[in-house]
Amino acid sequence: MKIIITENQIKLLKETLLLESDDLLTYTTKNDHRLYRWDSNLYNTRYKGYDYLVWQNVPAGTKFKFVLYPGKRVEVSAWNGKLVFSCDMFRDKDYNFFKDEALTKALKNKFCSSNENFKRELFSYVDDKNIENDLSKIQDINCVNKIKEPYKNAVNWWKNKLNEPAFYEKLKKLNNYTDQQTKEWITKYKNYLTNNISGPFCPTKSSKWYKENLGDEYAHLAGSVGSSRVVYNVIYKDETPKNIESTMVHEIQHAFYDLKPMTPDSNWKKVFPYKVWSGAMEQNSDVTSSREKSTISKYGLNQEVIKWWKEKLKLETDPSDDDPKYVCRITELSSRIVKIKNLLGYSTEDKITIGDFKKFIEYKQDPYNNSNSYYLVLCWVNNGMPDIQTFLDNLDKHVVAKVDAKNNDNMKDGVS
């Protein structure tokens, strides 16, 4: 009988059944080892540096742990620090040094990189654990009770999304994947959603963590890539459940981007040919002016409204602003486009229309006066106001942003 198990199940088996793999930070020996004292004065003798008259026994079941102390001092040690491993040898509390080929090799594989420094992922893992621990201690329980169901709905929204046939086809086409590659990446996104994204967290407003990390943002991701904690701002806990859910959907998309963008970055240059990437080309003012006049005339746009958008753009992209490149940031654009489709209640096959976009420009009518469309229009203006139909066709052609929406949700975009 053939049994198929997933990578996560294999990892779980290793961590629970094999003594050597307690977790990422712990190694437990299953064999007895004897470490002999190392003396460099004996290196050129027949003993090759080993003093076989002095040894240290390490019995099976000894746990070596990676420990990160305040101030970033780090060690891998056993017996509460009485035996310390440093990627090439061991030392005891009296600073006697020991070596053993078998145990050294096992611990190096577990904890050390090729240049005999401790692996960077260990530091990230500890930091992420500390972040989660810190967040768990400062949770605003009233807020958590209000956001946990919307967070659950957001996770389910993405689970359903990843199973859509239209999403499959769009991901395959825009990334030039084979069917096998498409299936593999969808599986990776699903596993990432289950194993690498956690939440919701809602720190109290009085906490130091809140003051240093949130401010007036609706939400953001905490932790390193691969350990994303979805953190919500307590001051927005009275938003409607649907609005909170859409914020969570937006943040989860950011986490997916950390794994791998669903829309290739190069595709955004086909939609916004000037300023969505760092070191963007300068526009030719004469050409831009001509393009603007043509677009305004062709679609009957209100010049006073366009003037308002230009004033907003000037403020949003001012070099003195905290984040002048936020308007056209690729990671934000990806989340905004996905949520605009959801906001409009469109099915997978529906496209954003010229009428929709003109309402975005007018910025009056709900649900068209939302922050997702606000920044989309700003980026459109920032790129010289290209022909609206061509612009929308490029969005549909080059961006993985087709969703099946259930209800309207007014996504807030002051995040990450």
pLDDT tens digits, one per residue of 188-236: 999 999 988 988 999 999 888 888 888 778 888 887 777 788 999 999 9
The whole-number average pLDDT for the span 348-372 is: 84
Which pLDDT tens digit goes with each residue over 11-21? 444 443 333 34
pLDDT above 60 for 92: yes
What is the domain-level CATH number for residue 237? 3.30.2010
**38-42, 279-283, 356-360: range with highest mean pLDDT:** 356-360
The whole-number average pLDDT for the span 308-325 is: 85
Last residue of a domain, one of 259, 294, 321: 259
- 129 in the same domain as 114: no
Q: Which of 32-41, 68-77, 325-334, 398-407 has the lowest mean pLDDT?
A: 398-407
Q: List C-alpha distances in Å: 320 to 47, 316, 325, 388.
A: 67, 10, 11, 31
**Residue-level pLDDT at 72:** 66
Which domain range does residue 215 map to? 124-155+186-259
pLDDT above 80 for 26: yes
DSSP for residue 163: T
- 336 in the same domain as 299: yes
Last residue of a domain, one of 61, 96, 118: 118
- 323 in the same domain as 253: no
- 131 in the same domain as 109: no
pLDDT above 70 for 407: no
403 part of a folded domain: no
21 part of a folded domain: yes
- How far is the C-alpha of 166 from the C-alpha of 178, rounded, in Å? 15
- 273 in the same domain as 243: no
382 part of a folded domain: yes
405 part of a folded domain: no
- Which secondary structure element, helix H or strand E, spans residue 90, and what is its range? strand 90-92
How would you class 288 by CB atoms within 10 Å of its CB: exposed for 0-12, middle for 13-18, buried for 19 or more? Answer: middle
- 203 in the same domain as 109: no
Q: 169 CB contacts (<8 Å, ≥6 apart)?
A: none
241 part of a folded domain: yes
pLDDT above 50 for 132: yes
- 100 in the same domain as 138: no
**245-254, 259-268, 303-312, 406-415: range with highest mean pLDDT:** 303-312
- 301 in the same domain as 199: no
372 part of a folded domain: yes
- 98 in the same domain as 14: yes
* Tally of domains in the chain: 3
164 part of a folded domain: no
**Residue-level pLDDT at 400:** 65
54 part of a folded domain: yes
The whole-number average pLDDT for the span 94-120 is: 88
Q: Taking Cα atoms as reference points, which of 225, 219, 26 lies closest to residue 135?
A: 219
Which pLDDT tens digit goes with each residue over 182-192? 999 999 999 99
- 137 in the same domain as 114: no
Q: 150 CB contacts (<8 Å, ≥6 apart)?
A: 241, 242, 244, 245, 248
- 334 in the same domain as 295: yes
pLDDT above 70 for 42: yes
